[in-house]
Amino acid sequence: NAGVMQNPRHLVRRRGQEARLRCSPMKGHSHVYWYRQLPEEGLKFMVYLQKENIIDESGMPKERFSAEFPKEGPSILRIQQVVRGDSAAYFCASSPGWGPGLYEQYFGPGTRLTVT
Amino acid sequence: QQQVKQSPQSLIVQKGGISIINCAYENTAFDYFPWYQQFPGKGPALLIAIRPDVSEKKEGRFTISFNKSAKQFSLHIMDSQPGDSATYFCAARYNFNKFYFGSGTKLNVKP
C-alpha cells in the first residue's frame, strides 16, 4: 500500500525557468493538498484540489503558480518563471474524502526546489 | 498573522525525560488538532490528534492535553528516546479541510 508519492525529490532550476512538481495521492484518496515549507518554518497551505476541481486556492500566490489534479494522473504544481524566493520544500498531502478519516492528511516526502 | 503559535522553537531533553511542546490558537472554529512528527528530509507524519470536546488523549508515550477555555493544547512525550529526535508541528483544522500549522519545535533527546 504505497503512500503519497512525489517527484522529483530534488529539483534545481535557474531563475526564469519553469518548475513542475508531481504528486500521486495514496490509493483511494481523492483529495490533494499542496503546502510550502521554508527552512526552519512550518508548512503553509497553498491549494486544495479534488479530481478536476480546485476547491480552495487561497494560499497560492496570484501569479506564476498554478495547480491541477486531472481525472487521470498525478496532481501537478506548476511554478512559472521561478525566482530565488521560490526555493523551498513543497509537500503534497492526500486525504480519502470519505469514511471516518475523511479529512486526515497523509504527506508525501516532498520536493526540494532550489532556484539558482 | 500566525493562526497557531507554537513554542518552544527548540528543546533539549535527556533520555527518559518528558518533552513538552505547547501550542495556542485564537480561532474557536478550529475543530481538530493534530500533531505531526517530521524527520530530516521526510514529510510530516501524523502522530496523534484530538478533538476539542476531549481534554486529553493518550497513545503510548504520547499524550495531548487540550484546554478549550484557554485555547491551548500541548504534546507530552513521556520517557523520551533519542529516536524521538525530530521536528514536531502542531496544527489546527478549519472548515474540514484547511489546516494551519505551527512553526515547529526541533526536539533533541540526548542519550
| pLDDT of amino acid A11 | 98
Q: Is the pLDDT of residue B55 over 70?
A: yes
| pLDDT of amino acid A105 | 87
pLDDT (mean) for A67-72: 94
Contact B105, B47 (CB under 8 A): no
Q: Is the pLDDT of residue A76 over 90?
A: yes
Closest CB to A45 among B49, B98, B104? B98
Residue range A17-38, pLDDT digits in tens: 999 999 999 998 889 999 999 8
Residues from chain B contacting residue A26 (CB–CB below 8 Å): none
Residue type, B28: T
Residue range B15-25, pLDDT digits in tens: 999 999 999 99
| pLDDT of amino acid B77 | 98
Q: Is the pLDDT of residue A59 over 80?
A: yes
Q: How far is A83 from chain B (nearest CA, A)?
A: 23
Closest CA to B109 of B19, B3, B40: B19
Q: How far is CA B62 from CA A3, A92, B56, B82, in A?
A: 23, 26, 11, 15
Q: Is the pLDDT of residue A100 over 70?
A: no
| pLDDT of amino acid B1 | 64
Contact A4, A106 (CB under 8 A): yes
Please spell the DSSP secondary structure of B39-99, one letter per residue.
-TTS--EEEEEE-TT-SEEEETTEEEEEETTTTEEEEEESS--GGG-EEEEEEEEETTTEE
Contact B111, B100 (CB under 8 A): no
Closest CA to B90 of B76, B73, B78: B73
| pLDDT of amino acid B39 | 93
pLDDT (mean) for A96-105: 73
Residue numbers of A between 82 and 101 with CB closer than 8 Å to B: 91, 93, 95
Closest CB to A104 among B42, B46, B102? B46
Phi, psi dihedral angles at B84 (to 5 degrees): -85, -10
Residue numbers of A between 5 and 64 with CB closer than 8 Å to B: 6, 31, 33, 35, 40-45, 48, 55-56
- Please report which confidence band the pLDDT of residue A68 belongs to, taking 50, 70 and 90 as the band edges: very high
| pLDDT of amino acid B95 | 79
pLDDT (mean) for B37-60: 92
Distance CA A53, CA A31 (A): 10
Contact B106, B9 (CB under 8 A): yes
Residue B20: which H helix or E strand, with range? strand B19-25
Q: Best mutation site among B1, B35, B98 for testing chain A: the one with the most A CBs within 10 Å?
A: B98
- Please report which confidence band the pLDDT of residue B67 belongs to, taking 50, 70 and 90 as the band edges: very high
| pLDDT of amino acid B35 | 96
Q: Is the pLDDT of residue B11 over 70?
A: yes
pLDDT (mean) for B92-101: 86
Q: What is the strand order of the sheet A75-79 is part of?
A: A5-7, A19-24, A75-79, A65-68
pLDDT (mean) for B64-89: 96
